[in-house]
Amino acid sequence: MVQSNGENPQRNQRGLHQIRSTIQSRSLLAKKRVENITRKDVKGFFTRNAFVLFTVAAVILGIALGFALRPYKLSYREVKYFSFPGELLMRMLQMLVLPLLVSSLITGMAALDGRASGRMGMRAVIYYTTTTVIAVFIGIILVLIIHPGKGSRDEFIKQPKIEQINPADAFLDLIRNMFPPNIVEACTKQFKTQYAKRVVHVTMTVNDTIFTLNGSQVITREEMIPVPGSVNGVNALGLVVFSICFGLIIGSMREKGQPLKDFFDCLNEVIMRLVAIIMWYAPIGILFLIAGKIVEMDDIADMGGQLGMYTVTVICGLLVHAIIVLPTLYFLVTRKNPFVFIAGLLQALITALGTSSSSATLPITFKCLEENNKVDKRVTRFVLPVGATINMDGTALYEALAAIFIAQVNDYDLNFGQILTISITATAASIGAAGIPQAGLVTMVIVLTSVGLPTDDITLIIAVDWFLDRLRTTTNVLGDSIGAGIVEHLSRHELQKKDPELGNSVVEEAEKKPYQLIGQENECDTERSVNSETKM
């Protein structure tokens, strides 16, 4: 016993000595690396990260410029002229979304056999469902704890009435849009149930006697009936379903389907090259988008206490989901540092913040995942387009939280069953939220109707929705990207078994970058020659 007690101090001293020597050796190595940094290394670092640095600078300048111009009280016309460079960026990105979505899904599905794509799809769906349910749960817990709706309703300014939507019709529209009757029309329009008035003539009989009213035997009454209609916008859900089926059939045709596969592969590569060109303009567009929105927004000082607390609650929920939940999931599955992975997505996240559209950000998300994070293209081509269409973590969190906030403003006590209904409806409605700016407001009607809350009260939160919409879009893009990383890790064995010629492996992508950024082609040769210890 005495001997063992004597050994413990010696063992502790030995352990401390090892820790001290490790720290000293690492600090010396770090010092040596810093001393060996040359001007060429610094230039290489800035060249490699030029887009990210320009984009971050654009956000900071946009915020500063927006607040600097607010005192000048620009008219609506002047604000629109000022925001024009940002509008051009949105139009450029939206121009690429449709061909990118179709070509990436078809080539991704064609590169996998039915079994591999089925497994990958199952993993993606499980991930989407898990993260969306967690997001809704976080939103509900926070809104019940913080209780932002406490106070007087008088501080809210009434806005125009919002369009009424029947929840059953909304869900049927979702299924209808999955199977568009005209695939060309699906590129520009979505099916949406409209409502029309119909006059019904009723003859009432009481005790075998025809009932008369004001001398007339026929009573007329009006009723609202659903009629087929459409709205402008890409039917992304229908194109996703069609592209997945089309790609799987091409893959099963082997040699016969090779010409079509090569065509869509080439189309995908062309779009990514166009993205590389547009990215040089992105910082300018983001600068004017953010500055224009800040100039246009209402005075922050006029925002009431309830709306301010609601904004803080939504921000807290999105931060918890984006900084704690998603990175933890990534680490638990892959055992890799999630923040290194997120650092590679910085440009896509800032673009999502600027454009407020996960669909418009899709081309940049592809570029970041494939080039920065070296995610297999067979995974990104399947997971990202599907994720941008149906995986809306931020929107689900926001809808559940906003519904309970509106209930609190109206002094409406929700029981456990109603809260459960809100959570299920918010999860389902977020799938139907198109990847376009402020689509969450439309699907909010479904969530409010499910528990009998007044749908006109959505207008209470419109004042801050433009800002929160940008934050939840950023969360949506982060969720899609981390999902691609997780699915790739879980599907690595199936991907390794496949012939590399059918899709590109990570090694192949490193050797042959088909979407080399313009102006950086010469840089690659320089980077390879630099010693790895001297790289930043």
String of DSSP letters for 253-305: TTTTTHHHHHHHHHHHHHHHHHHHHHTTTHHHHHHHHHHHHHHHSPPGGG--H
Longest dimension (CA), the chain: 114
Residue labelled with tokens 């803080």: 312
- pLDDT of 507: 40
DSSP structure string for 146-170 = H-TT-S-GGGSPP-PPPPP--HHHH
Nearest to 470 by CA among 292, 297, 291, 349: 349
- pLDDT of 299: 66
Q: Is 197 helix (H, G, I), strand (E, B) or coil?
A: strand
The amino acid that residue 503 corresponds to is: G
Strand partners, 219: 202
pLDDT in tens, 269-303: 898 888 888 888 989 999 998 899 888 877 666 55
On whether the CB atoms of residues 533 and 36 are closer than 8 A, the answer is yes
- pLDDT of 208: 55
> Which residues in the chain land under pLDDT 70?
1-9, 11, 151-165, 202-219, 299-304, 432-442, 498-536
CA distances 168 to 196, 205, 304, 446, 449, Å, are 17, 33, 35, 9, 10
CA separation for the pair 477, 447 (Å, rounded): 23
On whether the CB atoms of residues 376 and 404 are closer than 8 A, the answer is no
- Quick count: other Cβ atoms within 10 Å of Cβ 94? 17
CA separation for the pair 287, 61 (Å, rounded): 7
- pLDDT of 496: 80
Q: Name the pTM for this structure.
A: 0.76
CA separation for the pair 21, 15 (Å, rounded): 10
CA separation for the pair 342, 487 (Å, rounded): 16
Sequence-distant (≥ 6) Cβ neighbours of residue 521 within 8 angstroms: none
On whether the CB atoms of residues 436 and 319 are closer than 8 A, the answer is no
CA separation for the pair 31, 34 (Å, rounded): 5
Reading the block at residue 66, the tokens are 């927006």
Q: Is 110 helix (H, G, I), strand (E, B) or coil?
A: helix
Q: Is 124 helix (H, G, I), strand (E, B) or coil?
A: helix
pLDDT in tens, 10-48: 767 777 777 877 888 777 777 777 777 777 777 777 777
- pLDDT of 96: 87
- pLDDT of 333: 95
CA distances 525 to 44, 45, 274, 370, 521, Å, are 11, 14, 23, 20, 8
- pLDDT of 505: 38
Question: Residue 411 belongs to what H/E stretch?
Answer: none
DSSP secondary structure letter of residue 478: H
Task: Evaluate the CA torsion angle 241, 243, 244, 245 in order and state its sign.
Answer: positive
Strand partners, 218: 203
The amino acid that residue 69 corresponds to is: L
Nearest to 473 by CA among 365, 368, 527, 395: 395
Question: Residue 159 belongs to what H/E stretch?
Answer: none
Nearest to 239 by CA among 355, 339, 139, 385: 385
- pLDDT of 515: 40
- pLDDT of 128: 92
The amino acid that residue 249 corresponds to is: I
Sequence-distant (≥ 6) Cβ neighbours of residue 525 within 8 angstroms: none
- pLDDT of 204: 62
On whether the CB atoms of residues 165 and 224 are closer than 8 A, the answer is no
On whether the CB atoms of residues 386 and 124 are closer than 8 A, the answer is yes
CA separation for the pair 347, 48 (Å, rounded): 13
CA separation for the pair 94, 528 (Å, rounded): 36
- Quick count: other Cβ atoms within 10 Å of Cβ 275? 21
CA separation for the pair 384, 366 (Å, rounded): 8
